[in-house]
Homo-oligomer: A and B are copies of this chain.
């Protein structure tokens, strides 16, 4: 049903090869201007658009980029996706999304699938290092840009928030507001999270506050926090936004108000999901909005996509590693 180049050529009484040259505005080959006009006119009239699959086969490029992320249901990745879709669209690329669900096998499967579907490049947010060999191999076949993640040993481009700086200025803000005993809540298992922790420690050092291992926990551990609070071992908390609701519940249990009794700053905008009445009550302890570190998610997506497309277009993408640090912002 759809109109092929052959149809245009036949109607314009010309060979398909010439038609192709004309429709691709190839002026290197000399042609009668009238012929050019005629072919273009016919193509327009028939509403011809080149079949991207055939084109992809011949050209070995599909104007498609693969996007592989852990999940699509958090606002964090959504904004990144949006940024990616925006610039991809501007540059006439289309994006194939896959959701790895933090599952190494699924990630592997998607990578293979994208590759043999001929994507021109891949954007990925990957944490576990399990597919590192595969990623290295892929990195030699198509450009690869990592978003909000860092895989030691893969020589590619990385676009990440400056997590160290973010945690640094967040912690500094707590100190500025008078904090002296700061508790850190958050994982350190992967590079970006380790950076955050390092930023936290750096701020402590710069402001001559001694770091104590006792004031550091991976998860929001109610019992530990309870002890620290009741023994007045801490006056403030720097915490990942993911844990904000659990934290508030703990604080409420101890009848503490923010910021009078305890100061809290979060990495990422705190997200209050209020499922129950208790959740709504819990919010009442927040007397002032908490300062938080905002990641430029949209910009991160945009930037990563720009870099990828740049690499696709130039074809230069091997043997260089670059880490683009996006500027976090302190929001009060």
Residues of A within 8 A of B (CB): 1-2, 49-54, 56-57, 62, 64, 71-73, 75, 78-79, 81-82, 85-86, 89, 94-99, 106, 110, 112-118, 140-141, 272, 274-277, 280, 283-284, 286-289
Contact = CB atoms under 8 A, between A and B. Distances in A.
From A54, A97, A275, residue with most partner B Cβ within 10 Å:
A97
Contact of A53 (B62, B98, B275): B62
Given A57-B57, A73-B78, A75-B73, A52 B118 contact: yes
- Count this chain's copies in the assembly: 2
A115 B1 CA distance: 12
A97 to B, nearest CB: 5
A68 to B, nearest CB: 11
A11 B140 CA distance: 24
A53 to B, nearest CB: 4
A72 B110 CA distance: 21
A120 B64 CA distance: 16
27 contacts: A1-B140, A1-B141, A2-B115, A2-B141, A49-B116, A50-B116, A51-B57, A52-B116, A53-B53, A53-B56, A71-B82, A72-B78, A72-B85, A73-B78, A78-B78, A82-B99, A85-B99, A86-B99, A89-B106, A94-B110, A94-B117, A95-B97, A96-B96, A272-B274, A274-B283, A277-B289, A280-B286
A94 B94 contact: no
Contacts of A53: 53, 56-57, 62, 117-118
Contacts of A275: 289
Contact of A97 (B85, B288, B289): B85
A289 B283 contact: no
Nearest to A141: B1
Given A53-B56, A64-B117, A283-B283, 17 more contacts: A1-B140, A2-B115, A52-B116, A53-B57, A53-B62, A64-B96, A72-B78, A72-B81, A73-B79, A86-B99, A94-B98, A94-B117, A96-B96, A275-B289, A277-B287, A280-B289, A284-B284
A16 to B, nearest CB: 16
A143 to B, nearest CB: 15
A141 B94 CA distance: 21
B276 A289 contact: yes
A97 B99 contact: no
A215 to B, nearest CB: 27
A78 B289 CA distance: 27
A99 B89 contact: yes
Contacts of A276: 289
